[in-house]
Structure 1
Amino acid sequence: MFNTDALIKELTFKAIRSSGSGGQHVNKVASKVELSFNLNASEVFEDAQKSTIHKKLQNRLTKEGVLILQCGESRSQHKNKALVIKRFLELISFALQEDKKRIPTKIPRAVIKKRLKNKRYLSDKKANRKKPDVD
């Protein structure tokens, strides 16, 4: 499908200080990892693959076609880097999966009967609300 080693080489990483509680350690250490991937400049994917990725991940890409992911779950920068790479690869493989084409099926006879029976029931219920005809 795609070469993961070549794809990982195209990624750029940046270490950021994590937010939240943690005292002095948080203020000193940059353990959060930010991954950025420029889809338009990628040489791993073909044009057709780029367009499908762009279509499926359009709400996660910037206007320039850059995918940005962050991970600050662990206190270790190396673990965060591994987690964000794993998340990125899962996201790309999800975007490249082809959707199954839906095969329209015939409506079962029992479903049609049930709908008509319910329709008749409601019709009778409304008819019973009317004043009776006295002839």
Structure 2
Amino acid sequence: MKDFSKELSFKTSRSSGAGGQNVNKVETAVTVLWSVAESEFFNEYQKELIQNKLKNRINAEGYLFLTVSESRTQLMNKNKAIEKIIEIVNKALIVPKKRIATKPSKGQKQKRLDTKKKISEKKDNRKFKL
């Protein structure tokens, strides 16, 4: 798991939801911003992967952003935002391995045909015969 948290910048805003009297005066929601293109932590190939897989989360200026307002405190929201953005980026870096198409074996083919034959015979026996 790659930790690039030193490249992150944060903005705070008023959070909706639980918080009592504080909800209207304390900025507890945290938005984390990270410039993918300017990152020195990843190479060009990795940046390309991140930009392709997370293009719906990256804005026009090239910033990947995420807003967290789950907790009542700014510090907890900040920590959660860091965890989430690192998790999202690390998932984007995973390249799935190519699937190799395989053919069914002779035994599998024979088993399938035998099953078809049995079912056919069963249905054939249900018919009314004179």
Structure 1-normalised TM-score? 0.74
Residue equivalent to 2:120:
none
Residue equivalent to 1:98:
95
Hey, what's the Cα distance between the residues in 2 that align with 1:63 and 1:110?
56
* TM-aligned CA deviation for residue 99 of structure 1: 1.1
- Cα deviation 1:99-135 (Å, max 9, x = unaligned): 1121111134566568778999xxxxxxxxxxxxxxx
Residue equivalent to 1:49:
46
Structure 2 unmatched ranges of 5 or more: 118-130
Hey, what's the Cα distance between the residues in 1 that align with 2:22 and 2:7?
31
Matches within 5 A, 1:11-22: 11-20=8-17, 22=19
Q: For residue 33 of structure 2, what is the amino acid of its counterpart? A: S
Deviates more, 1:70-79 or 1:104-113: 104-113
Distance 1:23 1:76, change over 3 A: closer
Give identity over the alignment, percent: 44
Q: For residue 103 of structure 2, what is the amino acid of its counterpart? A: K
1:28 correspondence with 2:25? yes
Residue equivalent to 2:69:
72
Structure 1 unmatched ranges of 5 or more: 121-135
Deviation >3 Å, runs of 4+: 108-120
Higher relative contact order (CA 8 A, sep 6+): 2
Of 2, 6, 27, the match for 1:9: 6
